[in-house]
Structure 1
Amino acid sequence: MLIRNATQEDLDAISRVEAECFPPAEAATKEEFAKRLEYYAAHFWLMFDGDKLIAFVDGFVTDEADLTDEMYEKAELHNENGAWQMIFGVNTIPAYRKKGYAGEIIKRAIADAKAQGRKGLVLTCKDRLIPYYAKFGFVNEGVSESVHGNVVWNQMRLTF
């Protein structure tokens, strides 16, 4: 399995994977991904099985300590010199789940953030995923202010 950063040419594949992984109220649109790729393609980690995109993790960098809903919609808030790597999505297509692929990409994102001198990473997740992210060192900070997709989200942080 190959892990690499994204380019604009990956837009269609990224959009397809997102649509397969999240309900419409929670999924980013193709237009949102185009904007994200314009501002922070180097903060998309894509995993391929041959030529097929099977999983990805994405999120921008900021000096803001907490992940807000505004961040999902405004790619231009990305600050390449920011302290925190935000994680907006962890996506694995259903046929490839429960095989450790997402974990490999998360570990790569963590290693890259550390190598770039960040303070750490921040993500939000549903209750059932708290133990999963805790395995990577993320600490649950409680219910987030996020109302993205009309779902309750927990903010988790990994501090270096």
Structure 2
Amino acid sequence: MNIRKAKMNDLDEITAIEAECFPASEAATRKSFEGRLAVYRDYFWILEEKGKDGNKKIVSFVNGMVTDSPNLEDEMYENPNLHNEKGNWQMIFGVNTLPEYRRRGYAEKLINELIFEAKSNGRKGVVLTCKDKLVPYYSKFGFESEGVSESTHGGAVWYEMRLRF
């Protein structure tokens, strides 16, 4: 098991994992990931594991941008140029783990790494949106629910969660 930052040659694998983890209406496209990787690839935390064939395989990843905006806005998903390297808030756009690798603590390791780096970089905190069934999961990291988000991403109801440092 190894945690690392993304590279552009991870694009196809990341896109495939996203498509497996989210409904098509919510999943980021290859084009969207390409833009994100071009602008803020260091904000992709990847967990890879050696497969039975000895090759490394991405099994989980977390990604998001940094911004001064305190709230996660739908436009951020598609416009990587809204990333502000010196911003106050670390956003999380997606937490993805392949179904056959879930319930092993992989997403937790990546989220903790993201929180550690955000804190180390002097951010005010981390913001994400999630569906109501995941509010308790993110609460265990210290995120607090701020209620239903203004986001209409993918036509779903999202709850905005904030972890303040």
Using the size of structure 2 for normalisation, the TM-score is 0.96
CA shift for structure 1 position 98: 1.1
List 4+ stretches of structure 1 deviating above 4 A.
none
State the alpha-carbon separation in 2 of the partners of residues 128 and 44 from structure 1: 24
State the alpha-carbon separation in 2 of the partners of residues 49 and 123 from structure 1: 26
State the alpha-carbon separation in 1 of the partners of residues 45 and 16 from structure 2: 15
> Is residue 40 of structure 1 aligned with residue 45 of structure 2?
no
State the alpha-carbon separation in 1 of the partners of residues 160 and 44 from structure 2: 20
Q: Give the CA RMSD over aligned residues.
A: 0.5
1:4 counterpart SS class: strand
Q: Who is 2:79 aligned against? A: 74
Q: Who is 1:149 aligned against? A: 154
CA shift for structure 1 position 99: 1.1
CA shift for structure 1 position 143: 0.3
Q: Who is 1:99 aligned against? A: 104
1:118 counterpart SS class: coil
Q: Who is 2:68 aligned against? A: 63
Amino acid paired to 2:97: T
State the alpha-carbon separation in 2 of the partners of residues 11 and 39 from structure 1: 13
CA shift for structure 1 position 20: 0.8
Amino acid paired to 2:139: A
Q: Who is 1:21 aligned against? A: 21
Q: Who is 2:59 aligned against? A: 54
Q: Deviations over 1:74-109 (max 9, x none)?
A: 011000000000000000000001111100100000
Q: Percent identity over the alignment?
A: 58
State the alpha-carbon separation in 1 of the partners of residues 42 and 82 from structure 2: 15
2:39 counterpart SS class: helix
2:32 counterpart SS class: helix
State the alpha-carbon separation in 1 of the partners of residues 40 and 30 from structure 2: 15
Amino acid paired to 2:21: C
Mean CA deviation greater in 126-135 or 7-16: 7-16
State the alpha-carbon separation in 1 of the partners of residues 84 and 7 from structure 2: 18
Q: Deviations over 1:117-150 (max 9, x none)?
A: 1001000000000000000000000000000011
Question: Unpaired segments of 5 or more residues in structure 1?
Answer: none
Amino acid paired to 1:99: R
State the alpha-carbon separation in 2 of the partners of residues 80 and 7 from structure 1: 18
2:60 counterpart SS class: strand
CA shift for structure 1 position 114: 0.6
Q: Who is 2:126 aligned against? A: 121
